[in-house]
């Protein structure tokens, strides 16, 4: 895969694309090799092979982001950006057909308002995966061999299998079932089922946290325990109360202010800093995502 600041392109890969498609390259910011967008014949590109369309999209993205300085460089970057967006719908359709949920739009932004943890998006000439269920890594750039089988995009399951071989972490679920206390095993099992997860990659039983892929969760035995923890957090660190007093939002003392905050906003407003949400298991255990 061409592109990118974080673990991306190789010079040999750029030469391979030139040989395959006849695209021409020049120098971009910092001497990077970037495509000359006018060398790509758009009228011949769509419809064409899936790989050619996706690679052109990525090359345009790289050329737009790493455009050279000066009038000519800015002009080439602007053309590349325009052509990148002209291909966005085709690229999204290609990946959707392969089984992905892609956040790739003509606006160049994540216009999809879904809350799926795993999706594709484009960045600086890369096709990236937000997160996967078998690794703690986020925003993973896919390699060319992981995305394509010949001139076609691989099915998403195939790509994920290949990605697992590259970055996958050991599933320690069986070890936890043996080593952890029955109560913890039951709680983790409940959270996994509620969140649609299947693997565990780390556990800190004392801190009551576990990792499943890029998602980390914690739990408390009840909402009462969580509320008491939130109360202690606000009381032990009164900075928010001081700010509220200074701004004129309250004239109450610390303890009364804490009671008011918990009564109006709830404990999750204090503890669930990742997304403000939490879940409740059948036995009353509350849990939330912390990372």
Residue pLDDT, tens place only, 73-96: 999 999 999 999 999 999 999 999
The per-residue pLDDT for 17 is 53
The per-residue pLDDT for 240 is 86
Tokens of 252: 């109450």
Tokens of 52: 């050619």
Q: What is the greatest pairwise CA distance in the chain? A: 73
The per-residue pLDDT for 1 is 32
- Which residues, in sequence order, are bridge partners of residue 177? none
pLDDT in tens, 236-261: 888 889 888 888 888 889 988 989 88
Across 14-23, 94-103, 159-168, 271-280, least confident range: 14-23
- Which residues touch 194 (CB under 8 Å, ≥6 apart)? 279, 281
The per-residue pLDDT for 20 is 62
User: What's the average model confidence in pLDDT over 259-278?
Assistant: 93
Tokens of 225: 């325990």
Contact 278, 272 (CB under 8 A): yes
Q: Is the dihedral of CA 266, 267, 273, 276 positive or negative?
A: negative
């Amino acid at each position: 895969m061409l592109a990118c600041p974080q673990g991306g392109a190789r010079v040999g890969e750029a030469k391979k694309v030139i040989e395959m498609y006849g695209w021409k390259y020049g120098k971009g910011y910092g001497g990077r090799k970037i495509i000359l967008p006018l060398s790509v014949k758009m009228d011949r590109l769509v419809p064409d092979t899936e790989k050619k369309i996706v690679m052109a999209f990525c090359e345009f993205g790289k050329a737009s982001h790493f455009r050279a300085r000066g009038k000519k460089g800015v002009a080439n970057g602007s053309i590349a950006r325009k052509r990148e967006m002209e291909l966005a719908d085709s690229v999204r359709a290609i990946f959707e057909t392969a089984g992905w949920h892609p956040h790739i739009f003509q606006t160049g932004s994540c216009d999809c308002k879904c809350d799926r943890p795993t999706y594709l998006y484009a960045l600086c000439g890369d096709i990236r995966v937000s997160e996967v269920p078998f690794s703690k890594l986020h925003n993973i750039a896919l390699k060319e061999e992981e995305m394509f089988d010949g001139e076609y995009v691989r099915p998403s399951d195939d790509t994920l299998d290949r990605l697992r071989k590259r970055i996958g972490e050991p599933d320690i679920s069986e070890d936890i079932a043996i080593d952890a206390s029955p109560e913890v095993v039951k709680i983790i099992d409940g959270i996994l089922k509620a969140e649609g997860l299947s693997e565990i990659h780390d556990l800190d039983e004392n801190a009551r946290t576990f990792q499943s892929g890029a998602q980390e969760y914690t739990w408390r035995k009840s909402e009462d325990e969580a509320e008491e923890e939130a109360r202690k957090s606000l009381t032990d660190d009164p900075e928010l109360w001081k700010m509220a007093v200074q701004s004129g939002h309250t004239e109450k003392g610390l303890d009364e202010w804490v009671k008011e905050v918990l009564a109006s906003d709830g404990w999750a407003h204090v503890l669930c800093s990742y997304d403000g949400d939490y879940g409740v298991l059948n036995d009353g255990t509350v849990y939330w995502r912390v990372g």
